[in-house]
Each structure stands twice: as structure tokens, then as C-alpha cells.
């Protein structure tokens, strides 16, 4: 029976022979990690067995590289991976740790069942409750919060969630609110942000959610981003870098000259609306920028050469200067999310 796919996506991997960093399509299975040169490849370039392996995160072995984690196999072979941003790294780390733990315990990997572990009443519809919380007028208000010299964008505190559940009459008291909030957290409707809330999730308490003004959380599709707080003495940023980051991740981009496709890390900012792209294998400066004001973004079914692409999920950005950018997402849902985020950015941004 083929092993279950738990998670997949682009990560940057350090080579074992030449020590170069290259983007790879990485697939986490129940018993190991496969990595491919590109998503459409039929056979992996390599496979890392998870049985007996250990995971180190954060990994500080490479000074200028952020969001790196290390997997050490039973043969003492080190494999280094770099994510595009903090939340992506933490999501990979959580699933890999759980996969290793399941192998040790002889169990099948499965997402935690909220109803079994917390005895959630069958009358509670978490999906409907989540939609109510996301309501722009009556839901939980997203804020930019500051803690430990960091700014957490598009998030909210644990006690605000419990306050909302009580005032909205979704629960009878705060203790019942903790049970429901923990259920939302376990099912992925809420995500932890910051050390305090993440520590609680990884702990052994019955309710991993904290009714605490210092515990931060966010909606998974909200555009949450954590950044270092800048001081008044910092150099004033160029206009294109002043906007709040609302989405980031890896996409394939077609070059304008050679028409070849390469993996790039994209960072989307709003107000003003800009889309920067970087070499995911390193480099602090962007390779290029797309000004989104007055642009058009649409799905396309074939590449600009008129040939049917091996992969679907293509979309095109046409700037106000009529420059065409062709990008490719890993899945239909991801393409839709990027198009919606770009549309929202240039509608609200300058």
C-alpha cells in the first residue's frame, strides 16, 4: 500500500555533495521525505527515512539563512531545508515531528480528532462558527499587535477569542469557550502566533488554547505575517517596501528572455501594492518587482508559447505598462488564493 502523503510543497534544500542550495519539490510521507527537482518528475532525486531520525528547528548552522530546519538520520546524515517564511517552516516541523513520533509508537499518522480528544458536542458546527468569526463586521477583529520587539500583523489575542465566543452566545462561559477554541485550533481553523501560544500547542495540557492577552493567534488565510519592529532611527524604506506583507510563498515564474521556468519566492505587499520575487536559494535583495497598481490578473490554460503546459494552474499578470508575467502555482487552490490576494492588494493599495 502506497504511503500517505501528509504535506508537499517547495523548500530549498542544501546539497549533500556540493553544498549548494536549490529549490526542491518536497513530499512528506508517513515513513519518509522524498524530494524532486520539479513537481512533475516521476521519480525523486532522493529519499530521507524518518525512522530513528531527529529534527532540529530552528537550525542556526547557517548565519544568514532564516527558517532552516535539520533532519539527522540514524546514519548521522544531516539534511538541511529552508522554508520561505516562519509559519511555513513551523508547519513542516510540526508534521515531521508527528510523523516521527507515529513511527516510534507504531501508529498511523492522523490529524488530531477534536471530538474524541476534547469530547466536543455533536451539535457544534466548527465550520459555521469559523465563518461567523471571519465576518468583517461582527467577527473577531484582526489587529497588528506588538510583543518582544516584533509586530504580528492580522492576528488577535486568546482572550479576545473567548470574549467573542461568550458575547456571541456561542458558549455559556469561558471554560466552555476554552474547549471550543481548542477545537478550532486542533482542526486548523486557528493558528498559533508567537512563542507563548506555540508552546501551549506543543504541550500536554487538555486545552492547548490560552485565554491570555499575551497569546496571539490568526486565521490561516488571513495574510498573517510577523516582522521585526523598526526603530525611529531606521532608514526610510523605498515606497515599494513600505506596504504590509499579506502573502508570500514559492511559485514558478517564466523568464522574459529565455522563456524558461524557475522557482522564485514571491512576497506580496499592499498599500502600496507590489509583488517582489527573490531567488529562494538565498539573497536578501529581490530579483525583480511587479507594480500592481492598474494591473490585470487572470487564470490562463496554456503557456505564452501556445504549447500545452505539463502543469496547469497558470496565471498571468499584465501591468499598467503592458508587461506580461506568467506564473504557475502548485495546485488549483493555490492559484486561486494568489489571484484573490493580488486582486485585493491592487484594489486597496496605492
Tell me what pLDDT residue 5 has. Answer: 86
**Distance between CA atoms of residues 328 and 335, nearest Å:** 7
pLDDT at residue 320 tops 90:
no
Question: What CATH number belongs to 128-228?
Answer: 1.10.10.10
**Distance between CA atoms of residues 297 and 315, nearest Å:** 7
How sure is the predictor about 2, in pLDDT bands with cuts at 50, 70 and 90? low
Report helix, strand or coil for 15: coil
Residue with C-alpha cell 521585526?
228
Q: Give all strands of the β-sheet with 288-291 in edge-to-edge order.
A: 288-291, 274-278, 261-270, 244-254, 324-328, 314-318, 296-300
With pLDDT > 90 as the criterion, what percentage of the chain qualifies? Answer: 41
CATH entry 3.30.70.270 includes domain 240-348: no
Nearest C-alpha neighbor of 99 from the set 152, 158, 52, 169:
52
Say what the alpha-carbon torsion angle 146, 149, 151, 155 is, to the nearest 10 degrees: -50
Residues of the chain with CATH 2.30.29.30: 5-105, 240-348
Using alpha carbons, list the distances in angstroms from residue 256 to 31, 80, 117: 41, 32, 53
pLDDT tens digits for range 6-31? 999 999 999 877 778 888 999 999 99
Mean pLDDT computed over every residue of the chain:
84
Report helix, strand or coil for 288: strand
Q: Where are the alpha helices (DSSP H) in the chain?
A: 86-104, 114-118, 126-133, 158-167, 174-186, 195-202, 332-348
How sure is the predictor about 350, in pLDDT bands with cuts at 50, 70 and 90? low
The answer to whether the pTM exceeds 0.85 is no
Question: What CATH number belongs to 5-105?
Answer: 2.30.29.30
Residues of the chain with CATH 1.10.10.10: 128-228
Q: Which of 40-54, 198-212, 268-282 has the lowest mean pLDDT?
A: 198-212
Tell me what pLDDT residue 188 has. Answer: 75
pLDDT tens digits for range 84-134? 877 788 889 989 999 999 999 888 887 654 444 445 555 678 888 988 998
> Mean pLDDT throughout 168-185?
89
The helix (run of H) or strand (run of E) holding residue 146 is strand 143-147
Tell me what pLDDT residue 123 has. Answer: 64
Q: Do 3 and 13 contact (CB within 8 A), yes or no? A: no
Amino acid at each position: 500500500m502506497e504511503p500517505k502523503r501528509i504535506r508537499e510543497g517547495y523548500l530549498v534544500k542544501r546539497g549533500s555533495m556540493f553544498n549548494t542550495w536549490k529549490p526542491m519539490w518536497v513530499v512528506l510521507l508517513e515513513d519518509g521525505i522524498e524530494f524532486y527537482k520539479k513537481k512533475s518528475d516521476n521519480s525523486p532525486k532522493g529519499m530521507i527515512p524518518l525512522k530513528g531520525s531527529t529534527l532540529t528547528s530552528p537550525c542556526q548552522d547557517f548565519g544568514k539563512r532564516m527558517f532552516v530546519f535539520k533532519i539527522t538520520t540514524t546514519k548521522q546524515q544531516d539534511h538541511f531545508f529552508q522554508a520561505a517564511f516562519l509559519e511555513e517552516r513551523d508547519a513542516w516541523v510540526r508534521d515531521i515531528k508527528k510523523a516521527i513520533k507515529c513511527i516510534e509508537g507504531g501508529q498511523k499518522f492522523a490529524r488530531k480528532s477534536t471530538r474524541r480528544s476534547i469530547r466536543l458536542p455533536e451539535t457544534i458546527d466548527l465550520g459555521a462558527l469559523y465563518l461567523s468569526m471571519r465576518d468583517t463586521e461582527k467577527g473577531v477583529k484582526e489587529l497588528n499587535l506588538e510583543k518582544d520587539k516584533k509586530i504580528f500583523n492580522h492576528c488577535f489575542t486568546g482572550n479576545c477569542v473567548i470574549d467573542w465566543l461568550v458575547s456571541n452566545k456561542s458558549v455559556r462561559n469561558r471554560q466552555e469557550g476554552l474547549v471550543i477554541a481548542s477545537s478550532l485550533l486542533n482542526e486548523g481553523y486557528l493558528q498559533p502566533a508567537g512563542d507563548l501560544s506555540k508552546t501551549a500547542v506543543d504541550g500536554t495540557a487538555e486545552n492547548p488554547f490560552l485565554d491570555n492577552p499575551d497569546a496571539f493567534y490568526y486565521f490561516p488565510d488571513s495574510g498573517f505575517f510577523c516582522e521585526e519592529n523598526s526603530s525611529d532611527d531606521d532608514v526610510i524604506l523605498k515606497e515599494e517596501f513600505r506596504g504590509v506583507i499579506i502573502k508570500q510563498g514559492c511559485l514558478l515564474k517564466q523568464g522574459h528572455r529565455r522563456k524558461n521556468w524557475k522557482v522564485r519566492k514571491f512576497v506580496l505587499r499592499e498599500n502600496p501594492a507590489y509583488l517582489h520575487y527573490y531567488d529562494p536559494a538565498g539573497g536578501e535583495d529581490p530579483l525583480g518587482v511587479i507594480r500592481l497598481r492598474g494591473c490585470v490578473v487572470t487564470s490562463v490554460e496554456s503557456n505564452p508559447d501556445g504549447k500545452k503546459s505539463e502543469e496547469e494552474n497558470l496565471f498571468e499578470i499584465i501591468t499598467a505598462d503592458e508587461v506580461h508575467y506568467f506564473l504557475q502555482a502548485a495546485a488549483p487552490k493555490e492559484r486561486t488564493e494568489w489571484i484573490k490576494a493580488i486582486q485585493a492588494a491592487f484594489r486597496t493599495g496605492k
